[in-house]
Homo-oligomer: A and B are copies of this chain.
Amino acid sequence: MARLTGGIATSHVPAIGVAIDLGKTNEDYWKPLFAGYDFSKKWIKEEKPDVVILVYNDHASAFSLELIPTFAIGCAESFQPADEGWGHRKVPVVEGHPELAWHIAQSTILDEFDMTIINKMDVDHGLTVPLSLMFGEPEKWPCKIIPIAVNVVQYPPPTGNRCYNLGKAIRKAVESFDADLNVQIWGTGGMSHQLQGPRAGLINQEFDNQFLDRIVKDPEGQAKVPHIDYVREAGSEGIELVMWLIMRGALDKDVEEVYRFYHVPASNTAVGHLILKNKT
């Protein structure tokens, strides 16, 4: 059976992708940020996941206002990097794992999650920036990716509790898949940031650090936090943090914190990063 061995959380700031693509990672502004992922790059080379379930949100790239799925799972053979208005990122094509993705789709739907099944989709910085942060700039991504796109653009997004429970259902699905696979789940987005209006630039380091503690040690408590608290404390785009709860729900309640990194700023955003490992 497939094993869900660990979880990674990371911000997915588009400017990070631009910095990588333009070769600016050694500039003073960016150096401390990329240094924060040095450990992670080594760690994942040793862990060698076969598949990553990558929870992210689309930023008006694949989904316009014509159709807005709350939870969408990518079951295609591959996914192209999206043109977000400045051309496609020159990163490798994202190869999916259709067998496992369909299995998760079926299992979660029968567990009463109302998934949207996707067989064609471009993926934006929300998905490709975490890949770049963890894997650098390879010719080809070293593992298969199953995108799970969560609506956090159109209100209301799913509740924290619903996200946490979807994580649990994903774990159950993975562990009932008949193949010897090392599977990781990543939750992306956040941390505190606001991109819009006169309040743009809001950063709340205290909230972020409490969130980092709580998502590790008290995920059930964090899952109960309402949307308004995220918006008030972590900025309107800080709501992305609910997606970390999907990752967290797929792990053991008691989990090993392998690594933590926190940095301000990347463009408008506070960057947070965790590596968690199941003890079982």
Given the contacts A106-B155, A109-B156, A155-B106, A116 and B161 also touching, CB distance less than 8 Å: no
The interface residues of chain B lying within 8 Å CB-to-CB of A121 are 67
Could you tell me the distance between the alpha carbons of A279 and B68 in the complex, rounded to whole angstroms?
Answer: 36
Interface contact B67-A114, CB-CB below 8 Å: no
Interface contact B70-A119, CB-CB below 8 Å: no
The interface residues of chain B lying within 8 Å CB-to-CB of A65 are 119
Copies per assembly: 2
Report A159-188 CB contacts with B as 1/0, cut-off 8 Å: 101100100000000000000000000000
Could you tell me the distance between the alpha carbons of A155 and B121 in the complex, rounded to whole angstroms?
Answer: 20
Could you tell me the distance between the alpha carbons of A68 and B67 in the complex, rounded to whole angstroms?
Answer: 11
- Residue of B with least CB distance to A150: B114
Mark out the residues of chain A between 63 and 77 whose CB falls within 8 Å of any chain B CB in the assembled complex: 65-72
Interface contact B69-A116, CB-CB below 8 Å: yes
Asked whether A210 is an interface residue with its Cβ less than 8 Å from the other chain, the reply is no
The interface residues of chain B lying within 8 Å CB-to-CB of A216 are none
Interface contact A66-B112, CB-CB below 8 Å: no
Interface contact B112-A67, CB-CB below 8 Å: no
Interface contact A158-B116, CB-CB below 8 Å: no
Report A82-117 CB contacts with B as 1/0, cut-off 8 Å: 000000000000000000000000100110111111
The interface residues of chain B lying within 8 Å CB-to-CB of A159 are 110, 112
Asked whether A264 is an interface residue with its Cβ less than 8 Å from the other chain, the reply is no
Could you tell me the distance between the alpha carbons of A165 and B113 in the complex, rounded to whole angstroms?
Answer: 12
Interface contact A112-B162, CB-CB below 8 Å: yes
Given the contacts A117-B154, A154-B117, A156-B106, A161 and B112 also touching, CB distance less than 8 Å: yes
Interface contact B158-A109, CB-CB below 8 Å: yes
Asked whether A20 is an interface residue with its Cβ less than 8 Å from the other chain, the reply is no
The interface residues of chain B lying within 8 Å CB-to-CB of A110 are 156, 159
Asked whether A120 is an interface residue with its Cβ less than 8 Å from the other chain, the reply is yes
- Minimum distance in angstroms from A224 CB to a CB of chain B: 13
Interface contact B71-A114, CB-CB below 8 Å: yes
- Minimum distance in angstroms from A70 CB to a CB of chain B: 4
Q: Top 8 A-B pairs ranked by shortest CB distance?
A: A114-B114, A70-B114, A66-B120, A68-B117, A69-B116, A112-B162, A71-B114, A109-B156
Q: Could you write out 13 A-B pairs with CB less than 8 Å apart? A: A65-B119, A66-B120, A67-B67, A67-B117, A68-B118, A69-B116, A70-B115, A106-B155, A109-B156, A110-B156, A112-B162, A114-B114, A114-B158
